[in-house]
Amino acid sequence: MHDDGGNLIAPGAFLPAAERYNLMPLVDKWVVRTAFDWLDDHPEHLHNLAHCAINLAGPSVSDENFLDFLLELFSRVNVPAEKICFEITETTAVANLVKATRFITTLKQMGCTFALDDFGSGMSSFAYLKNLPVDFLKIEGMFVRDIVEDPIDYTMVKSINELAHVMGKQTIAEFVENRHILEKLQLIGVDFAQGYGIARPRPLRDRQDSGVSKASSNPDQE
């Protein structure tokens, strides 16, 4: 967000206030509507796009009106559901398991995919995972950033990756800051990598082709 003088305001400065005053569904609606309208106006980019990943806050996932908003938006714009991946946090999914499952199931029937963000940050991760129909697990960055030096973090990431693959889900490692971390992830077999070592955040007008990269060591998949 930019202030009146055009200065950039970091999310940590305004999102807590939005959460406190129950404004996150409104923020999420703005983000989703802006993304969909931009994609609708840029069909060439949309055609070449694998996925557009959009984070959703917990209150949005449990809000019936927000689900209706998404369904109406899909009917209005020319954006295939298969191009959209919604990201929800593990804590959100566990705290609102019934509503989150319904939300996910409804949109997956249309073709959307889902990523479970910050996986590993909660205490009940593995117990609830079997009941969540998500397509991707995003491995919590606090385990990823030190895997080169910390054998425990390396083993944690390896275990999460193996479990996800057994369950038929793909993995995305967060906080990939350099090639040394990426090489470790390739060795483990993590599917995708995200972080400053892959691409830095940019305004939409300065878009890049991707902010997430294949982590596979197979050159044909990079």
d(CA 7, CA 1): 8
CATH entry, 135-222, from 3.20.20.450, 3.20.20.70, 3.40.50.1820, 3.40.50.720: 3.20.20.450
Domain 1-85+94-110 and domain 135-222, same fold? Reply is yes
- The domain spans of the chain are 1-85+94-110, 135-222
| pLDDT tens-digit readout, 115-130 | 998 887 665 556 677 7
pTM of the entire structure? Answer: 0.87
Sign of CA dihedral 91, 175, 218, 189: negative
Please report the pLDDT score of residue 179 as a whole number: 94
| pLDDT tens-digit readout, 177-220 | 999 999 999 999 999 999 999 988 887 777 655 566 667 544 33
Tally helices (H) and strands (E) across the chain: 11, 7
Count, residues in the chain: 222
Please report the pLDDT score of residue 217 as a whole number: 46
CATH entry, 1-85+94-110, from 1.10.101.10, 3.40.640.10, 3.20.20.450, 3.30.365.10: 3.20.20.450
Specify whether the CB–CB gap between 177 and 209 falls below 8 A: no
Percent of the chain with pLDDT strictly greater than 70: 90
d(CA 144, CA 173): 7
Specify whether the CB–CB gap between 38 and 75 falls below 8 A: no
33 compared with 200, residue with greater pLDDT: 33
